[in-house]
A and B are shown apart, each in its own frame.
Chain A
Amino acid sequence: DTAVSQTPKYLVTQMGNDKSIKCEQNLGHDTMYWYKQDSKKFLKIMFSYNNKELIINETVPNRFSPKSPDKAHLNLHINSLELGDSAVYFCASSLAGGAGGNTEAFFGQGTRLTVV
């Protein structure tokens, strides 16, 4: 049973296109995230949702629009793709943030997006 699954694993597309990446978790977590990993392996958070509500938006261009239909799903839609969007995108989930020890995030396998 995959805990955090994201699709597709690879995505190659042309500049200007619109694409979506889907993410689902079966861990019963109420917080989900999107992280971007660049070519130098640097990981940076993009968005965080708690119970379908956006709680973190880290100055991401508004071409990126996350959507959470329920707390088990967090999809990422990207409009007008640019070359600089090429990266690996990771979905993750955790129990609610704040106090407590069960705050580690569980990550999906990543989606390697290549914009040509």
Chain B
Amino acid sequence: AQSVTQLGSHVSVSEGALVLLRCNYSSSVPPYLFWYVQYPNQGLQLLLKYTTGATLVKGINGFEAEFKKSETSFHLTKPSAHMSDAAEYFCAVLTGGGNKLTFGTGTQLKVEL
């Protein structure tokens, strides 16, 4: 079965510092991977996705992620954190024959002055 694991339920960074949110996947077939962001009291918004092709994927708000098959990872990064990045971040993999998203447990990002 395909799944994703997010390491670190809480990550705290200083404004301007590098953001690194970790996601590892488990899949016997080439995975489709996603990062979503959830701001307080809101729905989920797609940040970026990896399906096929280029392994470095750029998303919205300056985020990017790199698909590394050898490490079974899809970590999310942003060079310089902004206060507005504080939110819950979810990694997800497309499963069920492409019929559903299976989410990781989420990482809450806190950005401090």
Contacts and interface: CB of A to CB of B under 8 A. Distances in A.
A101 B62 CA distance: 21
Interface in A34-72: 40-45, 48, 50, 55-56
B88 A110 contact: no
Given A41-B88, A41-B106, A110-B42, A103 B32 contact: yes
B44 A107 contact: yes
Nearest to B101: A105
- Give the interface size class of chain A: 20 to 34
A110 B45 CA distance: 12
Q: Among A55, A90, A105, find the residue whose CB has the most chain B CB atoms closer than 10 A.
A: A105
B50 to A, nearest CB: 9
A40 B107 CA distance: 11
A97 B12 CA distance: 35
A45 B101 contact: yes
A107 B43 contact: yes
B5 interface: no
Interface residues of B, number: 27
Contacts of A33: 100
A92 B101 CA distance: 10
A84 B99 CA distance: 27
B13 interface: no
Given A97-B94, A104-B46, A110-B42, A48 B99 contact: yes
Contact of B98 (A90, A103, A106): A103
Contacts of A55: 99
Interface string B85-113: 00010100010111111110110100000
Interface of B: 32, 34, 36, 38, 41-46, 49, 51-52, 88, 90, 94, 96-103, 105-106, 108
